[in-house]
Amino acid sequence: MKLAQYVNGKTQIYGLLGHPIEHTLSPVIHNSIARLVGHDLIYVPFHVYPEHLQQAIQGAYGLHIQGMNVTVPHKQAVIPFLKGIDPMAQKIGAVNTLKRTTDGYVGYNTDAAGLRRSMIQKGIPLKGQTVLILGAGGAARAAAMMAADQKPKQIWISNRTIEKAELLAVDVQKFYSIPVQAVSFNNIYDLLHIDICIQTTPIGMSPNEIKTPISDLSFFKKLDAAVDLIYNPSETIFLKNAKQANCITLNGFGMLFYQAVQAYEIWNELTIPEEEQKKLIEIIQKEYID
């Protein structure tokens, strides 16, 4: 392909704000989507230090940047600089996607929708299910609000720092009238019934692949499905153990992929057809993950 087909005078600019930013896969995903659907846009990483976040948002607006993703550590800090926020992002308290409007950027959270789409794709429904979430940080907040939104029977939240799990349980119940309770890491083995466990902590992530948050393997016998938000390695010990106990297993690649698809759809006000999504997953997995 000629360089002018990648970037020319009409090319729209999109990007990712983060600190650090070097290891992101988002430019690969978004530029692959743009090539596949034939859009003249380019997606680039922007290394933004926390003390420059407001300037970065104002500068991006002045430069007519159409949309941005936002990652660690800016997902909450960026909210005061936005013109508006989508209801789900408001509940989660964090945004990862900004869309340009006539008088500023509006914030969305596509992490939650990305996880939901990835679980649907894998055949893991949440309606009527009992869900255990491991962790109570930013990713757990998105998982908990998303799960609550799907009418589950009950949600348990377990975290090393139990107070954070208790706070998240209270927050979820401000918006959803379902039972949500905190449980300490040591007590999760006493829970009698869990259908789905969503693992949101970094335990087991490369380079600490030999670690796992669940030491007692009998835990997996009561589960139908285990979801780990980690995608490197593609199969954590947590997922390996779950698979051995015949659970449906899902890693974090789908969430990463679908949060990008959802952001792209919001920016461009379109739906990427299923067939194209499947092609994209193959392209990205083949070239950059395997």
Binding of residue 203 to ligand ATR (CB under 6 A): yes
Binding of residue 202 to ligand ATR (CB under 6 A): yes
Among candidate residues 106, 116, 158, the one with its CA nearest the CA of residue 134: 158
Q: What is the DSSP letter of 220?
A: G
CB of 115 to ligand ATR, least distance (A): 12
Would you say 12 or 24 has its CB closer to ligand ATR? 24
CB of 82 to ligand ATR, least distance (A): 19
Binding of residue 137 to ligand ATR (CB under 6 A): yes
Residues 41-70 that bind ligand ATR (CB under 6 A): none
Would you say 69 or 268 has its CB closer to ligand ATR? 69
Go through 23-46 and write b for each residue having 16 or more CB atoms within 10 A of its CB, e for each that does not: eebbbbbbbbbbeeeebebbbebb
Q: How far is CA 174 from the centre of its chain?
A: 22
Say whether 104 sits in a helix, a strand or coil: strand
Cα separation, 173 vs 165, whole angstroms: 12
Binding of residue 160 to ligand ATR (CB under 6 A): yes
Binding of residue 73 to ligand ATR (CB under 6 A): no
- Please tell me which residue in 2, 10, 75, 243 is annotated as part of the active site: 75
- Lay out the site mask for ligand ATR across 172-201 (x = CB under 6 A, - = otherwise): ----------------------------xx
Parallel, antiparallel, or unpaired for β 104-108 and 97-101?
antiparallel
CB of 114 to ligand ATR, least distance (A): 14
Would you say 27 or 202 has its CB closer to ligand ATR? 202
Angle at 269 between CA 263 and CA 272, to 5 degrees: 70
Would you say 92 or 280 has its CB closer to ligand ATR? 92
Residue nearest to ligand ATR (CB): 137
CB 111 within 8 A of CB 142: yes
Would you say 24 or 66 has its CB closer to ligand ATR? 24
Tell me the two tokens of residue 61: 């607006």
Region binding ligand ATR by CB under 6 A among candidate stretches 62-70, 101-109, 112-120, 160-168: 160-168
Q: Phi and psi of 211, rounded to 5°?
A: -90, 155
Count of residues engaged in binding ligand ATR, rule: CB under 6 A: 14
Among candidate residues 250, 258, 235, the one with its CA nearest the CA of residue 123: 250
Binding of residue 19 to ligand ATR (CB under 6 A): no
Binding of residue 140 to ligand ATR (CB under 6 A): yes
Sheet holding 104-108, edge to edge: 41-47, 12-18, 67-70, 97-101, 104-108, 84-85
CB of 33 to ligand ATR, least distance (A): 24
Binding of residue 164 to ligand ATR (CB under 6 A): yes
Is 75 an annotated catalytic residue? yes
The dihedral of CA 93, 73, 201, 95: what is its sign? positive
Instruction: Indicate which residues carry an active-site annotation.
Output: 75
Binding site for ligand ATR (CB under 6 A): 135-140, 159-161, 164, 200-203
